[in-house]
């Protein structure tokens, strides 16, 4: 091997090692907000025109569920959420957030009726809250303590036993 090829080979290997070292040292970006972070504030309107602002709920435990009426796992999870609302709705503020830009009002109304949803459903008409919360998959749920800090972020459908455990923990935080 010529001296020039050796120098090039050493430079290539050195650059590769430097790149690997840089990538290993660089913290991996997570989808924020995550557990331990303050939940970003927002204001949304429900199906009846009533508004809610998250920061106004400070002092209470809050559960937020992002969903769409066309989402099969959301449909499977909804009856269990309704059960949790009936059990914990007097101690936890429930906010179902419909990802309205990818849904329809008719679909949301039908969903509420079909599943007998009695917990509040809010419309994220502009997709701003979905974007702020970096919701990529649905359902996505957030359990927030009375100080406004996210204590759990769950992506995907929860099992009834897991859901029961999380709601039970959240309900004791006052």
For the chain, the structural domain boundaries read: 1-29, 31-171
- Give the pLDDT confidence score for residue 74 in this predicted structure: 97
**Given pLDDT bands bounded at 50, 70 and 90, which one contains residue 86?**
very high
DSSP code of 35? Answer: T
Residue pair 42/128 in contact by the 8 Å Cβ criterion: yes
Residue 25 has pLDDT above 80, yes or no: no
* pTM as predicted: 0.81
**Given pLDDT bands bounded at 50, 70 and 90, which one contains residue 48?**
confident
Burial of 142 (0-12, 13-18, 19+ CB in 10 A): buried
Residue 30 has pLDDT above 70, yes or no: no
Q: What is the CATH number of domain 31-171?
A: 3.40.30.10
Share of the chain above pLDDT 70, in %: 81
The rounded distance, in Å, linking the Cα atoms of 147 and 29 is: 25
- Give the pLDDT confidence score for residue 58 in this predicted structure: 94
Q: State mean pLDDT over 62-70.
A: 97
């Amino acid at each position: 091997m010529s001296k020039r090829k050796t120098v090039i080979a050493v430079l290539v290997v050195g650059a590769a090692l430097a790149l690997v070292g840089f990538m290993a040292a660089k913290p991996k970006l997570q989808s924020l907000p995550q557990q331990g972070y303050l939940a970003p504030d927002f204001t949304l309107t429900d199906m009846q025109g009533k508004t809610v602002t998250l920061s106004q709920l400070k002092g209470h435990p809050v559960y937020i569920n992002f969903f769409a009426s066309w989402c099969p796992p959301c449909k499977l999870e909804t009856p269990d959420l309704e059960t949790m609302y009936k059990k914990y709705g007097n101690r936890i503020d429930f906010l179902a957030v419909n990802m309205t830009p990818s849904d329809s009002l008719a679909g949301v109304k039908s969903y509420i009726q079909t599943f007998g949803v009695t917990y509040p459903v809010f419309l994220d008409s502009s997709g701003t809250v979905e974007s702020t919360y970096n919701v990529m998959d649905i359902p996505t749920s957030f359990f927030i303590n009375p100080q406004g800090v996210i204590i759990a972020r769950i992506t995907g459908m929860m099992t009834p036993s897991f859901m029961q455990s999380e709601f039970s923990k959240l309900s004791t935080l006052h």
